[in-house]
Structure 1
Amino acid sequence: MSIFQLIISEMSDPMTLKLIQMILATLVGAGTIYIGYLLFLKGIRGKIDFEIGNDKINAKMVNVAPGAIVIMIGALIIYWALNSGASSKEIITTTSNNNIEEKWLDNVKKINKSDYYTDIVFKLFEDDNVKSKMYQLKSDRTLLSLSEEFYNNPKYWQLIALVNRGRGYYNYDSISENTILKTGVFIEYFIASKYNTPNTSKEKFVQVRGNDLNAGYEYLLKYSESREFNDKAFEELNSYFKNEYEFSPVLTTYVVSEDTKWDEISLIYYRNKKYSSLIKWVNKGELEKGILEKNIIPKGNTVLILTFVP
């Protein structure tokens, strides 16, 4: 992504636009105060009667020098800019805490057993402006405790369970709030963006998480043909994707709960069987000798998966 594209993308965010407005207004106010100061230095004098106020407060200044008036105007501009930002913050807080998670929880009933990741995300969050976040477990945790941490409420554990349903961490058919997730796994969850405006279309999401991700996986596949996977390779990939795309590579784990084919894991994470060789590349030095040559990974193994996060 070019710098110009990045700037345009950031400026489409209402919060960014508000921040730019505040900065510009503050600069104008500071410049106005400086002009008033110069008027004092140049000894420009005069007598001006000045009155300002509203229904509650009235102030009247008599025989005021022009420099003082200009300085006062600059101070008022800065005061307006700072207070405008405060009111904006209040609006953001009100919007983001408007029980939107209740709507998401109600959408759980729309999810079908055959739905893949993209369908799950759009049925849960619909056209709300949401942000994806990744969290690696430092210890064994229940879905209940994760919901408490992510949403400040334990009852939203089903949102976490659904988003991570296809990652092999648990059997979703027997899922409960007390289901334990193991240390080291990466958990994805979604939160409402600062401005919860319906500006993310399904087509746009699919393009970013679909076309761009596929291009990313193709790059990984080509890269794996000439390099071994190690820490240096991961650093190179991380640097490349941060510069070229809106996501970064991460290593997550897939716990094999029953004998599973390599291409089945590829379908879960990459939506395509062709990337099974990519999974084997990452796990070349991790799995017991002989497993890579087999079509099936025995139950009980843990597989490293190279995937992306926003």
Structure 2
Amino acid sequence: MNYKIKQQDRRTFMKRSSGIIAGLAAGSALTETLAFGVAKPLYSIPLGVYAGYSKANFLKESGCTYIEESVAGFLIPPDGDEQYEKNLRQLKSENFPIKSYVILLPGSLKTLGPDANHEAILQRTELVLKRAKECGSQYVVFGSGTSRIIPDGFDRAVAKAQHIELTKKMAPLAEKYGVTIAVEPLNRGETNFINSLSEGVEIVDAVKSPSIKLLCDIYHMLKEDEPATEIVKYGKHIVHCHIAEKESRTPPGVKGDDFRPYLSALKKINYKGGLSIECFVYTDFEKEAKRGIEVLKQQLSEV
């Protein structure tokens, strides 16, 4: 009898001990959760690459969610309307979205100065916006630095007024077709007008249209030594972003630039738009573009 009692006591002790241990483990986990908080999801945004649409399949397989094309390469190609129709059919067949188009204007069309040609620009812009809508695209980037260079000796205030007047005329067209025009600040090596986010916002604020917004290009910000805090300051205007390394406009991962301060600023404003690698020269496009996407995903995960 005593032996049985001892056996029962031993079993009871083991059960209680197991319960205590489990409770301590659960308590430890709870304490850890309370101390450190629930694990936050990693910050991620849609990533794309500026490239010809022939690269669509490769970019899709490389982890991109969209491609960025050029106005002259896709919407108004040198071979004319027939080529555009072919491009449109390919887009519908591939079903890989073009989010945005760069280089709205050729350098021969001036937005300001004595040779400003607003009528021709507005005709071109309407066609671009119409076709961008047909393609299901969201943005047309208004950088076109050569078009907006203020000529030597030309009054800067007059030039700015000309550019704002033109952009105000573009706004109803953008609203009509449901495509946003994103004003792009460029570094002073490319143009002498609209070289910072603050100067881009001056144009956006002057136009006052929901279809005229701001593009944030981290490459140009780096070239101008523009701090990441400017992204936070003007975040409410930003709808689209570009990125490349500072020295030679290479994709992320070539020189090893650390973009995390700028990516952290995008996270702080809860930016959910696209981030496009915009480079014009590659040593090996497929290798460098794929590596660029990988590097951006890694750096985004660390902010």
TM-score normalised over the length of structure 1: 0.22
From the two aligned structures, give the one with the greater strand fraction.
1
TM-score normalised over the length of structure 2: 0.22
